[in-house]
Structure 1
Amino acid sequence: MSVTPPFAKKIPHTFSHHQDTRHDHYHWLRDDERSNAEVLAHLEQENAYTEQVLAPQSTLQHTLYQEMTARLRPDDSSVPYLKNGYCYQSRYQEGLEYALFERYPEGKPEQVALLLDGNARAQGADYYELAQVAISPDQQLLAFAEDFISRRHYQIRIKSLQTGALFEEVLENTSGNLVWANDNKTLFYVYQDQDTLWPYRVYRHTLGTAQSQDVLVYEETDMSFYTSLYKSRSQDYIIIGGWSTLSSEINLLSANFPHQATQLFLAREREHEYEVEHFQDTFYIRSNKDGANFGLYETPTLTTVPSQWHTKIAPRSEVLLEGFTLFNDWLVVEERSQGLTQLRQLQLEGAIEYTLRFDDPTYVTWLDINADPHSVWLRYGYSSMTQPVTLYEINLHTQERRELKRDYAGEQFKASHYCSERLWVSARDGVKVPVSVVYRADLFNKAANQSAAKGANPLLIYGYGAYGASMDSDFSAARLSLLDRGFVYAIAHVRGGEELGRDWYEQGRLLSKLNSFNDFIDVTQALTAQGYGDKNRVYANGASAGGLLVAGVLNMAPQLYHGAVVAVPFVDVVSTMLDETIPLTTGEFDEWGNPAQATFYHYIKSYSPYDQVQPQAYPHLLVTTGLHDSQVQYWEPAKWVAKLRELKTDNHLLLLHCDMTTGHGGKSGRFEAYHELARDYAFLLTLAASA
């Protein structure tokens, strides 16, 4: 028996800007309070329809879920790291969703003590997230931030590690960001607006007092800047950062004298981005003042004249300086070249330099937790599309390396069963776009460049392309369930990310955003032309800003795709960017443009997926969202699906699932999220089998 999809009613509603009128018949689906009975009923109808349509896939979903969770070690734990005489670790108990946060005195693992049990904290909640955790300098107090509704509404609690008791005060409406002063009784935290979730104030809290008595020490007035806190490597400063897309500003607080006033490090300036670290009586500054890809500078004093900074690493046109960490004798930098990350260590006083080398054609490496600057061991992580996440440490002086942990990927997993490649695809304007590809080694014989199966397999292409976020080629144990069933998986590193440096980002934002969509389309066509997939079984996947990417592509070139899974997609771009009451809007004018200006309005509208839905055939679609999403409001995908259902000319599946208890990140807990992924994969596998 066929199932009838729910068609949302149409209520005329118009917006007029710049002599242009937009008709939004589904504007009524917006409910900021998440309490309108008619809206909730419609979302439940969409969920019921999706559940009915996907019911025949339930066995496959269950099989996939069992496969994915079998690739998790039931009693997994992190590698302990040393800080101030204690070793800290997170540990899972078999069958439980949340981690235990533990520690033990250095060299005495038999004296392990439980600091916080996520399972106990989450008891009775549909959603639970433990965010930042901070131990006081004297090791006796634990401050931690929690979210129980999946909307980035964090409460901060404080626990005595001597008695196990929680202090009475609860700090509400925070961003979850917190730092201890060195007196062990003063806590600084970031307060956020209750509606827009804009983090803009820093308060000083004294242990044992009510939040109403907290003292405001810093307030941001520009809504395009977001405020955050961190403690310097030297432990001498609490650093208040104001961050926007194109500029930043640092203020300093004394961690030793927390009642002193803040001190400005360097005033904000348009298009100057910088961040500050302090160690061994020296300030280190990562800055783009001399080049878009950032350089590293140092100064022993607080100077407001950047020309007086000493250049430690000059900016380079082909290498992006992404981050750094400091040790007693060494500086270690994280860099990106030709789309791939690398780690390099430099002697602070001397000319010795080492670069870590890796063999995979596409991979990612990163600096791990290096809490002790006096250690001679550097911890770093490594992963590729065929190699599980592996944690190493290397002796900074001798270069001796040892493996600390390799993630479990199931009893049957062998890296040799899979093959990865790095390709370069020429986009329509001649720019070469990097693409990372992985598949089973026995899928087709690339060496011989011929096989009966070549080009007959399904192909899934993932993309993001925004905010300068680089989509690295890492490992996914869950993805093996697709690869083992014949899928080729590709990441299109489209413009808008930062894989090829800052210029790669600049080419995919503001009035250059169309490059992101064009790159994804051109990569799709190149991959099928080169035999990486059957052109009739090509699928697309993206989430959030990546959902915008995929949704825009489906308007522009729907004929290229048999189906797509689009998660929490940012699809109503014009309306959202015109509404400063919505979280994130004001901070993103430099990303998308401000449509209050006619040039940006018309450009954004030209690609905004909701505005560009038209009567044409669309691929099969599974769209997901969360009712409490604070980053992309649930009504964007709900409206998009309603408009697609009205206008599309095909009989393909169009499914919306709105999780009524979660937000942007989906289900919390170690295993719950795999139900969602199993559903998505079952949808794709079923489509591929039916094509």
Structure 2
Amino acid sequence: MKPALLLAVLMTAATPALATSSSMSVDSAPSPAAPLTPPDVEKRPHVVTAPHGATRQDEYYWLRDDTRKDPAMLAYLEAENAYVDAVMAPLKGLEDTLYEEIVGRIKQDDSSVPYRERGWWYYTRFETGQDYPIHARRKGSMDADEQILLDVNAMAAGKDYFSVGDYQVSQDNRLLAWAEDDVGRRQYVIRFKDLDTGRILDDAIPGVSANVVWADDNRTVFYVENDPETLLTVRVRKHVLGTPVADDVLVYEEHDDSFYMGIGRTRDDRYICIGVESTVSSESRCAPAADPGRFTVLAPRERDVEYSADHHDGRWVIRTNAPGADGRPADNFKLMTAPSDATSRAQWQEWIGVDEDVFIDGFELFDGFTAVAERSGGLERLRLIRGAVGQADPASEYVKADESAYSMGLATNSEPDTDWLRYSYTSLTTPDTTYELNTRTGERRQLKQQPVIGYDAALYTTERLWASARDGSKVPVSVVYRKGFKKDGTAALLQYAYGSYGYSMDPAFNLPVVSLLDRGMVYAIAHVRGGQEMGRKWYDAGKLEHKQNTFNDFIDVTRFLVEQGYAAKDRVAAYGGSAGGLLMGAISNQAPGDYRVILSQVPFVDVVTTMLDASIPLTTNEYDQWGNPEDKAFYDVMLAYSPYDNLVAQDYPAMFIGTGLWDSQVQYWEPAKYVARLRDLDTSSAPILFRTNMDAGHGGKSGRFRRYRELAEMYAFMLDQLAVETAASR
């Protein structure tokens, strides 16, 4: 937050933009001691015109300021923050209690499971009272002396925001490259450190993504340059240590702005690969890591053909949805193999074919087996395939799960020459656990379980339910509650979902939610269409012209849970963020009576205007996710559900909406405009709170504890609105 003096300056220096029809002046903007009257803001006529001629009025368009410097805009956001402070003042005790409970469950001097790479054991640890991690390593064994790679606490000192993205050690183990961001817009600077001496090198590469790869010469790095305006990943460059960044060689430039770009090394370390992908297409080009002079395309891009490749044991292994020679679709993906010199799909050979009931999510290659991450029946599983890559009729078995609703996935498996597979396991009642399984003997060892102070898993129950959507589709639902809960239709419920981009919201342990369960609440995850929990078709059924299915699913899950006695009809809260915030905006327009309170973080609520502006980060990359509104048909589809455009005069639920001023993914002005228009039209007396983090981006404040303060405030608001007993069960 800005200092009080600066806040006063902003308030008094603001233009009449904050004046309203009731002649509210800037000096009368709410403060913590002011009457509980929400801020208002001037309407300024503005017409948004689409290329096909369609027009829309956007009276709050002026709140957009790409520089984040407009005094009137900043004053409005600060006034909203002051209003939140005033409304939440009576709940400060509850907020503090929730924060203390959440943080009190965290083992503050915790560390990650070490993994070995090129003779060193790498791990991350936290110290008591510190917000940021320490990245470290030990040579040969964990009994050796510790060498600190990065002490992020020291690096973040004095900064409102700080984040370390990717960091990579050179192949000779002597140099470190890392990407850091001290603003929150995910525009990183790559820096370098000599690990033998601890000296920070003079080289600094600004304006890049958090992605860096070393070549085998230990002097050359490859990185991805961002467009300074759109933040799109546009170019791969090569930097040689000790040379001017201005002389960095252009290796590859992507001219199609619907593609994202990244770089990495293959499993066997033989190749450096540049990968580009859009929503519906991808392409990889690779070069030998020992001599990365020329990058060769593995297979040219084709629309509606996606693939990702890794190299091991002298062959490429490729996960793809490319149709077979017979034209048979591969919506759920399959695995193919190809020789090292492959340059087209004609050289690919099928290894593991497509299964309409099983979605192949990923794979990890080892010397004697392959681990395949799959989804079936809405749950994750790991399939072990023994033998060499590409072996005909591969024998397989599955890693066993311990519960009916869970999340399982590949953990860090840094070296392929082992019989041991590391994997993660968690559920809504089981803290994140790392196991390693001997694929030859079947022995399983628990390496670590997330320590949760004062938590007893035996006190909680999780269920997997199936709700019927209005079109007959069965929607999986994961539910958790404290034992002793009675399914009598009186409880309060928090229902969460995301439902976009094919991201699956698996039932993982959620440490802060324990505070809700201990107060008698039920927590549910609705695995709605638009995610990929049920395979690729589940994702396809929740995007583009089918996006309404996402909203219908969420609402229908709510009604199912109420009908089944998991919650009282007037005690339901909904929560979503980013594209999940779009979901929150849609359901509050379409079914406001089903929700008592809506929690929405960094919400994507102004769909049409944003997707019409190609200068905004993510817009062009996502035409195949939402549609391109320059096409009148897709314009109409988006306009039909865009939360900002569908606000009407009706009673809305209570809302807590959050954003970050420096968010580069969902710009702050989307929720700012949404709240302003919502206040104009809402006919209820329920509070609408809008909190802007003035020094953070899409992920909120940096540091492991700060985000829990924001969450505790939001939870306190929700508990008050749902009339939940504030004392927790013990």
Q: What TM-score do the two structures reach when normalised by structure 1? A: 0.97
Unaligned runs of 5+ residues in structure 1 are 447-453
What secondary structure, in the 3-state scheme, does the structure 2 residue paired with 1:372 have? coil
How many angstroms does 1:169 deviate by? Answer: 1.1
What secondary structure, in the 3-state scheme, does the structure 2 residue paired with 1:546 have? helix
Q: 2:460 aligned with 1:418, yes or no?
A: yes
Unaligned runs of 5+ residues in structure 2 are 1-33, 324-329, 726-730
Q: Which residue of 1 aligns with 2:474?
A: 432
Superposed counterparts of 1:23-62, under 5 Å: 23-62=57-96
Q: 2:362 aligned with 1:319, yes or no?
A: no
Residue by residue, what CA displacement relative to the aligned partner does 1:340-362 show, whole Å, maximum 9, x if unpaired?
00011111236442211113121
Partner Cα separation in structure 2 for residue 321 and residue 391 of structure 1: 22
Among 491, 495, 498, the alignment partner of 2:532 is 498
How many angstroms does 1:607 deviate by? Answer: 0.2
Q: What TM-score do the two structures reach when normalised by structure 2? A: 0.92
Partner Cα separation in structure 1 for residue 143 and residue 371 of structure 2: 29
Partner Cα separation in structure 1 for residue 700 and residue 207 of structure 2: 21
Among 223, 237, 240, the alignment partner of 1:206 is 240
Q: 2:688 aligned with 1:627, yes or no?
A: no
Q: Which residue of 1 aligns with 2:315?
A: 282
Partner Cα separation in structure 2 for residue 69 and residue 221 of structure 1: 46
How many angstroms does 1:2 deviate by? Answer: 4.3
Partner Cα separation in structure 2 for residue 5 and residue 377 of structure 1: 59
Partner Cα separation in structure 1 for residue 347 and residue 69 of structure 2: 57
Residue by residue, what CA displacement relative to the aligned partner does 1:178-211 show, whole Å, maximum 9, x if unpaired?
1000111110000000110000100000011121
Residue by residue, what CA displacement relative to the aligned partner does 1:499-549 show, whole Å, maximum 9, x if unpaired?
100000000000000000111111111110010101010111000000000
How many angstroms does 1:577 deviate by? Answer: 0.1
Q: Partner letter of residue 560 of structure 1?
A: D
Among 281, 288, 295, the alignment partner of 2:334 is 295
Partner Cα separation in structure 2 for residue 173 and residue 24 of structure 1: 32
Q: Which residue of 2 aligns with 1:370?
A: 413
Partner Cα separation in structure 2 for residue 21 and residue 263 of structure 1: 46
Q: Partner letter of residue 269 of structure 2?
A: Q
Q: 2:258 aligned with 1:220, yes or no?
A: no
Partner Cα separation in structure 2 for residue 293 and residue 681 of structure 1: 38
Among 251, 264, 276, the alignment partner of 1:242 is 276
Q: 2:396 aligned with 1:353, yes or no?
A: yes
How many angstroms does 1:8 deviate by? Answer: 1.1
Number of equivalences: 681
How many angstroms does 1:108 deviate by? Answer: 4.8
Q: Which residue of 2 aligns with 1:331?
A: 370
Q: 2:353 aligned with 1:310, yes or no?
A: no
Q: Which residue of 2 aligns with 1:685?
A: 719
CA contact (8 A) 2:519 2:724 kept: no
Q: Partner letter of residue 470 of structure 2?
A: R
How many angstroms does 1:234 deviate by? Answer: 1.2
Residue by residue, what CA displacement relative to the aligned partner does 1:103-160 show, whole Å, maximum 9, x if unpaired?
1112252311111100011111101111101000000000000110000010000100
What secondary structure, in the 3-state scheme, does the structure 2 residue paired with 1:438 have? strand
Q: Which residue of 1 aligns with 2:483?
A: 441
Q: Which residue of 2 aligns with 1:69?
A: 103
What secondary structure, in the 3-state scheme, does the structure 1 residue paired with 2:144 have? helix
Distance 1:595 1:108, change over 3 A: closer
How many angstroms does 1:488 deviate by? Answer: 0.5
What secondary structure, in the 3-state scheme, does the structure 2 residue paired with 1:103 have? strand
Q: 2:222 aligned with 1:188, yes or no?
A: yes
Q: Which residue of 1 aligns with 2:299?
A: 266
Partner Cα separation in structure 2 for residue 544 and residue 116 of structure 1: 30
CA contact (8 A) 2:84 2:689 kept: yes
What secondary structure, in the 3-state scheme, does the structure 1 residue paired with 2:670 have? helix
Partner Cα separation in structure 2 for residue 589 and residue 531 of structure 1: 41
Partner Cα separation in structure 1 for residue 178 and residue 150 of structure 2: 9
Q: 2:421 aligned with 1:382, yes or no?
A: no
Q: 2:558 aligned with 1:515, yes or no?
A: no
Partner Cα separation in structure 2 for residue 97 and residue 255 of structure 1: 37
Among 175, 189, 199, the alignment partner of 1:165 is 199
Q: Partner letter of residue 235 of structure 2?
A: R
Q: Partner letter of residue 318 of structure 1?
A: D
How many angstroms does 1:15 deviate by? Answer: 1.7
Residue by residue, what CA displacement relative to the aligned partner does 1:425-464 show, whole Å, maximum 9, x if unpaired?
11111111111111111112x6xxxxxxx21110111111
Q: 2:639 aligned with 1:600, yes or no?
A: no
Q: Mean alpha-carbon deviation: is it higher for 101-110 or for 511-520?
A: 101-110
Q: Mean alpha-carbon deviation: is it higher for 663-672 or for 11-20?
A: 11-20
How many angstroms does 1:213 deviate by? Answer: 1.2
CA contact (8 A) 2:492 2:724 kept: no
Q: Which residue of 2 aligns with 1:552?
A: 586
Among 538, 562, 584, the alignment partner of 2:596 is 562
Computed over aligned residues only, the root mean square deviation of the Cα atoms, in angstroms, reads: 1.2
Q: Which residue of 1 aligns with 2:25?
A: none
Partner Cα separation in structure 2 for residue 106 and residue 345 of structure 1: 29
How many angstroms does 1:19 deviate by? Answer: 4.6
Q: 2:131 aligned with 1:92, yes or no?
A: no
Q: 2:434 aligned with 1:391, yes or no?
A: yes
Partner Cα separation in structure 1 for residue 695 and residue 142 of structure 2: 42
CA contact (8 A) 1:136 1:184 kept: yes
Q: Mean alpha-carbon deviation: is it higher for 180-189 or for 102-111?
A: 102-111
How many angstroms does 1:302 deviate by? Answer: 2.6
CA contact (8 A) 2:193 2:199 kept: yes
Partner Cα separation in structure 2 for residue 434 and residue 232 of structure 1: 36
Partner Cα separation in structure 2 for residue 619 and residue 489 of structure 1: 19
Q: Partner letter of residue 277 of structure 1?
A: D
Partner Cα separation in structure 2 for residue 41 and residue 306 of structure 1: 57
Partner Cα separation in structure 2 for residue 68 and residue 224 of structure 1: 40
Q: Partner letter of residue 626 of structure 2?
A: W
Residue by residue, what CA displacement relative to the aligned partner does 1:541-565 show, whole Å, maximum 9, x if unpaired?
0000000001111000101101111
Partner Cα separation in structure 2 for residue 407 and residue 242 of structure 1: 35
CA contact (8 A) 1:463 1:550 kept: no
Distance 1:206 1:72, change over 3 A: same
Partner Cα separation in structure 2 for residue 326 and residue 377 of structure 1: 12
Q: Which residue of 2 aligns with 1:3?
A: 36
What percentage of aligned pairs have identical amino acids?
Answer: 48
Q: Partner letter of residue 10 of structure 1?
A: K
What secondary structure, in the 3-state scheme, does the structure 2 residue paired with 1:230 have? strand
Q: Partner letter of residue 381 of structure 1?
A: S
Q: Partner letter of residue 296 of structure 2?
A: Q
Residue by residue, what CA displacement relative to the aligned partner does 1:161-184 show, whole Å, maximum 9, x if unpaired?
011001101000001111000111
Q: Which residue of 2 aligns with 1:450?
A: none
CA contact (8 A) 1:620 1:652 kept: yes
CA contact (8 A) 1:193 1:200 kept: yes
Partner Cα separation in structure 2 for residue 113 and residue 310 of structure 1: 45
How many angstroms does 1:676 deviate by? Answer: 0.7
What secondary structure, in the 3-state scheme, does the structure 2 residue paired with 1:416 have? helix
Q: 2:56 aligned with 1:13, yes or no?
A: no
Partner Cα separation in structure 1 for residue 722 and residue 243 of structure 2: 60
Q: Which residue of 2 aligns with 1:663?
A: 697
Q: Partner letter of residue 75 of structure 1?
A: D
Partner Cα separation in structure 2 for residue 432 and residue 319 of structure 1: 17
How many angstroms does 1:320 deviate by? Answer: 0.6
Q: Which residue of 1 aligns with 2:500?
A: 466
Partner Cα separation in structure 2 for residue 669 and residue 375 of structure 1: 35
How many angstroms does 1:604 deviate by? Answer: 0.2
Among 169, 175, 178, the alignment partner of 2:209 is 175
CA contact (8 A) 1:242 1:250 kept: yes
Partner Cα separation in structure 2 for residue 37 and residue 111 of structure 1: 53
Q: Partner letter of residue 9 of structure 1?
A: E
Q: Which residue of 2 aligns with 1:451?
A: none
Q: Partner letter of residue 300 of structure 2?
A: A
Partner Cα separation in structure 1 for residue 125 and residue 342 of structure 2: 44
Partner Cα separation in structure 2 for residue 196 and residue 665 of structure 1: 18
Partner Cα separation in structure 1 for residue 640 and residue 175 of structure 2: 53
